[in-house]
Amino acid sequence: MKKLIKYLKPYALLAVLCVSLVFLQAMCELKLPDHMSDMVNIGVQRYGIKDAVPERLSAWTLGRLRLFMNAEETAALERNYSADTADTFKLSADMGSEDRETLNAAFTKAFAAVSAVDSGELDLGVTCNAEYAALEMMSESERETLLRSYMEAADMGESVTGQLVAMAIRAEYERLGMDVGAYQLAYIKRTGVKMLGVALLVCAAGIGAGYLGSRIAAGFSRDLRRDVFKKVIGFSSNEINRFSTASLITRTTNDIQQMQVVVTMLFRIAMFAPIMGVGGVIYALRKSVSMSWILVLALIVLIGMLAVIFSVATPRFKIMQKLVDRLNLVTRENLSGIMVSRAYNTQEFEMQRFDRANAELTQNSLFINRVMALMNPVMTIVMNGLTLIIIWAGSHQIARSSMQIGDMMAYMQYAMHVVMSFLFVSMIFIMLPRAAVSGDRVAEILTSESAIRDPETPRDMRRENGGIGTVEFRNVSFKYPDAEEYALKDISFTAKAGETTAFIGSTGSGKSTVMNLIPRFYDVTEGAVLVNGVDVREAAQRELREQIAYVPQKNVLFTGTIEENIKLGAPNAGRAQVERAAEIAQAKDFITGKEHGYEEYISQGGTNVSGGQRQRLAIARALAVDAPIYLFDDSFSALDFKTDAALRKALAKNMEGRTIIIVAQRIGTIKNAEQIIVLDEGRIAGKGTHDELMRSCSVYREIAKSQLREEELA
């Protein structure tokens, strides 16, 4: 998985922007409970009065409050309050933060003291009408000592003191004729607008982060698929066989899709959840440190439950991709061989194979889903239990006046943020093992070196002096990877330009293996294969294959028109060149007989044309390429004798000067070749013309006698 990080580098700027938006979203979400707390605590309980600093005061009230202020507080008072009318004072609009902090503490203390004097709780030993006169007679230090003693004895909590001050300020506003209801409503509206703005910002940041995260993940997977496909295209047959086609398809699609999902989650949830979790803890502690044990308890319970769930589910996640591989393999084999299955009435057997693979994947998926389904009730239990405990503990603190209702509500939301953040992180850790397995599978492809590689300094085949179109095998031996026995042993021959060289032999004698060594689909184990006098291992693969037009044993057509299929190896070929190739391949008649002619659409795999037509189109595709060497690997087997003869005659007429190498099963196809090589169990059993082999090679003679009448053997 780490090896694939480089695919995220092109999106570094988008990643930074995405993380910034995620951070903004998280911080805004953390502010919402804070604003909600202010709306309840200040807007509802304290009538919209934020602190103990009144906006307006009567001269009578101000005179009473000043009795409980020291010199520094009095100086701050005089700096920031000015006469509004003869009997009222107004707060300055440009008051500094330090002065506000000083006056807030001063007014809190003073309002509490005035309330205590008015209620008789602060006993001065005088009659009710003489309290303030007595206070005026005291020195500043005496009043401060008296007030401190009262505050310590009263032991009022911060919330009670704040509520008391708010009630006193509200009463003062009412005496001054202010509309306190409108004042309170204005604060609630301002806070509501702030909450709405923050919520809109959360939405905008969330949408932006989601968009950028999806762009990054989609670009990452696109680049990865492109490089995987490019790598697979360059694989030799060894790597294709080692990985298997079904597995390569799964790795290119399903595995990369898994990583794309995880990359999206990493940029959205993995970045968002830790910020919300840490921020939630910090904000919750700001509301109440004494209830932090509730969060610790909830996390311990949650960790225990999730640990059990994850320990059961994670091993099943790791084998998921192998089961998908298996299902794809069975499906691909069944679809590719559906005609064979029908011919032998093995549909029931194939259904059982598919059902077994499907059942294993289904059972694994159901097990994971059932285990993961437990997370919902577990989370419900934890979150509801957490809510109940917070209400229980918070109500006791509210009763003791050490906490306000809005703070308890905010604490509850922050606790939910912490729990949900932990859950999201846990989900990431669940998905990472499967994505890591997928990443390793994809990285295995990207880091696999093809057994067939170009040399550092390839030789130019077109400038060598070995003869254009010459193919030579020098003591070639070959065995397939992991095979114990050689498929070819000590093969030597030369195919010259302007001649036809044919191979014949029993099934498994090595004919197709010889053909695969010429375009370097495999490398020889011993000896050397030379094309144009150059060892194919010393030439660039592209240049080598430009010298060769190849018709494989299994004819493959691609979706598209007939013309597009013929022009596959010669994309710049004109219509005349396409028609000429089709005519030589004996395909022109059936092409022109179709409704759309050369524009007729070929379905996937060429299923809408017959086997013989498919073979002739494959031959036409090779003939459209202007190459000095033509390889026909058993490419006439689906043709009737008449078409076979006509095709060979057309080849002889139009392919003069070209090297033609044919693998065939029928003697009639190769009878007139300048050189016939007979293979038997990977060795050359005979070499020469038809007449020479009839006299000298018993293997060839047996094949000929099994196919031709006596008069045809001559």
Residue 411, pLDDT above cutoff 90? no
pLDDT tens, 626-685?
Answer: 889 999 988 887 788 888 888 888 888 888 888 999 998 888 888 888 999 999 989 999
pLDDT: is 121 or 183 the higher one? Answer: 183
Q: DSSP of 218-243, one letter per residue?
A: HHHHHHHHHHHHHHHHT--HHHHHHH
- Ranges in the chain annotated CATH 3.40.50.300: 467-713
The residue with greater pLDDT, 592 or 450, is 592
Burial 283-310 (b: 16+ CB within 10 A, else e): bbeebbeebeebbeebbebbeebbeebb
Which has the minimum average pLDDT: 88-92, 133-137, 353-357, 666-670?
A: 133-137
Residue 617 has pLDDT above 60, yes or no: yes
**What's the CATH number of domain 234-447, 1.10.3720.10, 1.20.1560.10, 2.60.40.10, 3.60.70.12?**
1.20.1560.10
Kindly calculate the radius of gyration of the chain based on its CA atoms and give it in whole angstroms. 45
pLDDT digits (tens, 9 = 90+) for 580-612: 998 998 888 888 888 888 898 888 777 788 888
Taking only the tens place, the pLDDT of each residue in 503-546 is 998 888 889 899 999 999 899 999 999 998 899 999 998 888 88
**Integer Cα distance of 597 and 312 in angstroms:** 61
Average pLDDT score over residue span 485-505: 91
Spatial separation of the C-alpha atoms in residues 135 and 119, rounded to whole Å: 15
Residues of the chain above pLDDT 70, percent: 91
For 55-107, what is each residue's pLDDT tens digit?
Answer: 888 888 888 888 788 888 888 888 888 888 878 889 888 888 888 888 888 88
Decide if 49 contacts 42 (C-beta within 8 A).
yes
Check residue 74 and give its pLDDT. Answer: 85
Give the mean model confidence (pLDDT) for residues 429-449.
81
pLDDT at 212 over 90: yes
The residues of the chain that CATH labels 1.20.1560.10 are 234-447
Q: Does the pLDDT of residue 207 top 70, yes or no?
A: yes
Is residue 39 scored above 70 in pLDDT?
yes
Among 63-77, 154-168, 309-323, 380-394, the minimum mean pLDDT is found in 154-168
* Number of Cα atoms under 13 Å in the Cβ half of residue 614: 20
**Percent of the chain at pLDDT exceeding 90:** 18
pLDDT at 714: 57
Distance CA 591, CA 579 (A): 10
Considering only the C-alpha atoms of the chain, give the largest distance between any 2 of them, rounded to a whole number of Å: 150
Q: Is 467-713 in CATH node 3.40.50.300?
A: yes
Instruction: Answer whether 560's CB lies under 8 Å from 568's CB.
Output: no
Find the mean pLDDT for residues 447-452: 83
Please give the pLDDT value at position 220.
92
Say whether pLDDT at 156 is over 60: no
User: What pLDDT was estimated at residue 711?
Assistant: 58
